Structure 1
């Protein structure tokens, strides 16, 4: 479970931990993203039990105590289980999340009051790095779900979207839609509902150049096409579900 560290876009580092016990024999990766700037940001805290590993890995890139922002896709153990551990070692750090996540979970569960982000709100991290928060309720699951877009590098940190099993390169130009469809068939982790496709197609309008997956390799290429492909599959799933009702 030694973390692997790779720069997937300018100033954005993927800290990846592979767990062989999940979906054997392929295994499963848990990815966490550090955006360097005057105010460094961590997207995904990792599980509490992974915290010592991730703290050591992040410390190779910057002083841990200088971490400024902590955020994640939605309130779930692998997304934010170590939130308070990071707050304890980084005294200036703030958790930042959408209004729903703060209201239903983080105002109580975070050891320091979180910063509430409006849909579309931007945090300027300095050194040219700007991250935009985008609400994506129930996409792929969780009422409080959202994604983060780093504008300078065109990197969409897309949480559980495109989840796939197995390991591989840190950054790929290969198809990520097919493996994501296979993972959905295996885990059934998404909250299927009629607005899924439309919400994901709105993300495609950003035209990201890099997709930072929480579970799987980061993707470099036509992010809009990949998002539209995923949206089409979810549209098909919802139509089939409604037809069977």
Structure 2
């Protein structure tokens, strides 16, 4: 395996590793600023590869912030490895993530952000957005880089296969194919509305964890994904109701 580095927006680097046995790319995103931030740590087993990739862009010890969408090994498994090589680094996450898991799991006390709170990286501002249970995990959330218009989507729009760094192709249909394979999304009444609500951020780039970064009509992609989950919930409720009536 190899971790490939591409700049997908100004001073925003996609670090991508294709893992053939599961037919998925695993992406981290490095935001360069006075206080650099890494969104997604990667699994512990991938730390040597991802660490080497970050080192192509900057010295590892410069890393200041570590964040991710939710507590899952591919998002934060190497969290403490990063804390060990970057003495000033802190984990930053939403209130639920810190209270429920990260205050105990992280080797240094994490910083919590409330829904909508911003973090100044020094000439670059990112905003934390709570998305509880979307796509999964009580503590789920996303980051929006207001300067570049990049929304770091975590597991939203997951698609299988090996992808280019930046794409303008449809994201919704591949995401539904992957959903049929993995059944990873928590299907609740808030799933569709939460995803559609992200369109209000007016992102211009969607930075996927499992897939390409997307440049195009991001709001339409978010609206389309939310609508798909609305339909899936309605179909599931109809099937449940029919089963009860029969």
Regarding TM over 0.5, the answer is: yes
- Separation in 1, partners of 2:111, 2:217: 32
The secondary structure found in structure 2 opposite 1:61 is coil
Q: Which residue pairs with 1:16 in the alignment?
A: 16
- Separation in 2, partners of 1:185, 1:52: 32
The secondary structure found in structure 2 opposite 1:205 is helix
CA RMSD in angstroms, aligned pairs only: 0.6
**Superposition deviation, residue 168 in structure 1:** 2.2
Q: Higher helix proportion, which one?
A: 2
Deviations 1:23-65 (A, max 9, x none): xxxx210000000000000000000000011111101101100
Matched pairs, number: 240
- Separation in 1, partners of 2:80, 2:183: 30
Identify unmatched segments of 5+ residues in structure 1. none
**Superposition deviation, residue 126 in structure 1:** 1.6
The secondary structure found in structure 1 opposite 2:206 is strand
The secondary structure found in structure 1 opposite 2:25 is strand
Q: Which residue pairs with 1:108 in the alignment?
A: 104
Larger radius of gyration between Structure 1 and Structure 2: 2
Q: Are 1:182 and 2:205 an aligned pair?
A: no
Runs of 4+ in structure 1 deviating by more than 2 angstroms, as ranges, are none
The secondary structure found in structure 2 opposite 1:134 is strand
Q: Which residue pairs with 1:2 in the alignment?
A: 2
Q: Which residue pairs with 1:158 in the alignment?
A: 153
The secondary structure found in structure 2 opposite 1:240 is helix
Identify unmatched segments of 5+ residues in structure 2. 241-246
Q: Are 1:45 and 2:34 an aligned pair?
A: no
Check whether the contact 1:12–1:36 (CA below 8 A) recurs between aligned residues.
Answer: yes
The one of 209, 213, 238 aligned to 2:233: 238
Instruction: State the TM-score, normalized to the length of structure 2.
Output: 0.97
